[in-house]
Structure 1
Amino acid sequence: MLNIIHETKDIIIVNKPAGQLSQGAKGFDLDLVSEVMTYNASQGKPAYAAIINRLDRPVSGLVLIAKNKSAAAKYSTLMQKEGGFNKQYEALICGKLSESKGTFVDYLKKDGRTNTSAIVPADAAANDKEAKLSKLEYEVISYDEVKDITHVRIHLITGRHHQIRVQFASRRHPLVGDYKYATADCGMDNAVKAVAFKRNQIALCAVSLTIENETFRVTPEFSIG
């Protein structure tokens, strides 16, 4: 069932659970866009749904979906602008960060064949049109010394493919449950055992979305305690 946070004639904001696809793929799992289209039709409205900020399948949180073509064009353009949306995330990461707050700036390049992204050195990125500037800010909420897990709040300034996952993992602090980017010696297995997880879930949630001076919030499905 859709967890609707906010709805107008033009948009709908939904709290997507971890494990659900944002958009359709091969298979029979009900993706979020199809679910919204069915909901719109049940309300006697056009069965149209255009996702604006897609979340990876194992990620939970707020997703903005346009209900008509004009709204889709408007909000897609807004999202492409730096600072167009204020997107806040919370995550659990392996290990303890050296600083309680900071900024990560990298160049990321997506590999469509493997559906992964990787950091490109700055000198090489200057000559690589596919390497995209990627920036986020983080702040530590808490650290559990026994579990060696840190709870962080993240302000996503740019929105690149797997950006949060790659930028933390590249600093040897992968998100709990994110084996795709974890290194062998990061303590992932112990971290996963310490947190109750569903199938197809990593410890990342889009907790806050500010659009046109209005902010919407949800609580993550996960916690250290």
Structure 2
Amino acid sequence: MKQFTITKNDSGQRLNKFLEKAVPLLPGGLMHKYIRLKRIKINGKRTDFAYRLQEGDLLQLYINDEFFGKPKKKEQPTYLSAKPNISVVYEDDHILLVNKPAGLVVHEDDSGTVDTLIARIHAYLYQYGRWDPNDAASFTPSLCNRIDRGTSGIVIAAKTAEALRVMNQKIRDREIHKSYLCVTCGHVRPREGHIQNYILRHENEHRVSVHDHPVPGARTAVTQYRVINETPELSLVECDLITGRTHQLRAQFAHMGHPLLGDSKYGTNDMNRKYHRKSQALCSYKLRFDFTTDAGSLAYLNGRTFTVPRVEFMSLFDS
């Protein structure tokens, strides 16, 4: 018999999800069978695969030792070699808000880079004693949202399983609101408005197209915007995403004839070279928690707003 005492990091997740990670050699079919046969118990009592673990629960496994053998050897975790180079906007016991710089990917991509935002977060939490991989049997701090490599701004990381579950639900139900700042080429008119059109993804080309009328496969894209500053050639625009489509702001403003400065995919090369921009001038600069349903232990975040202290491309508008 082997047993686990559920830690704070692992609480809040379903039993079957915990077992998939904590006992990876145990097949899913056998897991459910052992739960039915009471060979997997919680606090000495019969349980269910959908049971949500609580801190302090004693998970008892009356299963063969072979399932606790070592799985295939894995490569050295990236947090052991990554540098903890992150800009922390806010941190508590449950979540971490990080200001991602432009040019950094959030997860490993096709390029195979190991220098990612999540690797840096793991290094930060590990090296500063905020996360011990050996203390929790399964949960690893995870990102709740993602932004493009070339976009900067706030990304949410969950430090506990419960926080990940709650944040994912709040994002899905649009109870977390993100505002962006971007720099467009030319003067956007009207200065304040509502953009609604249809975005179609082209997976093979890694880009999208914008349509003024519905087309098969396209999804409605809605943005509220407000011009807050201008130069003779540029506009500084604040945007609220009503929907969250791939490349939404980049594609919509390009469709209007005002591509984002620095955007190599939808933008203007001449303007990008003139201003020495190698990534789009786009920042997810503000995050507001606006919970309308139960948030459990994260209820204290309701009504709070967090912003990036200084968006680098705003210097283009300094007088």
Question: What's the TM-score once normalised by structure 1's chain length?
Answer: 0.86
SS at 1:206's partner residue? strand
Q: Distance in 1 between matches of 2:202 and 2:243?
A: 18
Question: What's the TM-score once normalised by structure 2's chain length?
Answer: 0.62
1:216 aligns to 2:306 (yes or no)? yes
1:152 aligns to 2:237 (yes or no)? yes
- Over 3 Å counting, the alpha-carbon distance change for 1:37 and 1:174 in structure 2 is same
Q: Distance in 2 between matches of 1:49 and 1:106?
A: 36
Deviation at 1:207, TM superposition (A): 0.9
1:206 aligns to 2:284 (yes or no)? yes
Q: Distance in 2 between matches of 1:10 and 1:78?
A: 15
Higher relative contact order (CA closer than 8 Å, sequence separation 6+):
1
- Over 3 Å counting, the alpha-carbon distance change for 1:97 and 1:44 in structure 2 is closer
Q: Please, which runs of 5 or more residues in structure 1 have no aligned partner?
A: 183-187
Deviation at 1:192, TM superposition (A): 2.4
Q: Distance in 1 between matches of 2:269 and 2:202?
A: 26
Q: Distance in 2 between matches of 1:154 and 1:117?
A: 19
1:98 is aligned to 189
Structure 2 contact 198–214 (Cα < 8 Å) conserved: no
> Counterparts of 1:80-95 in structure 2 under 5 Å?
80-82=172-174, 84-95=175-186
2:147 is aligned to 55
> Counterparts of 1:7-86 in structure 2 under 5 Å?
7-25=91-109, 26-42=111-127, 43-47=129-133, 48-82=140-174, 84-86=175-177
SS at 1:161's partner residue? coil
Structure 2 contact 263–280 (Cα < 8 Å) conserved: yes
Deviations 1:31-54 (A, max 9, x none): 001111122222251452322221
Q: Distance in 1 between matches of 2:113 and 2:184?
A: 32
1:167 is aligned to 252
2:224 is aligned to 137
Deviations 1:31-87 (A, max 9, x none): 0011111222222514523222211001111111112232222111211224x1121
Paired residue type of 2:307: R
User: Quick check: 153-162 or 24-33, which moved more?
Assistant: 24-33
Q: Distance in 2 between matches of 1:60 and 1:123?
A: 31
Q: Please, which runs of 5 or more residues in structure 2 have no aligned partner?
A: 1-84, 134-139, 290-301
Return the structure number with greater strand share: 1
The number of residues matched between the two structures is 211
Paired residue type of 2:192: K
Q: Distance in 1 between matches of 2:202 and 2:161?
A: 30
Deviation at 1:29, TM superposition (A): 4.5
Q: Distance in 2 between matches of 1:112 and 1:122?
A: 21
Give me the CA root mean square deviation: 1.8
Deviation at 1:165, TM superposition (A): 0.5
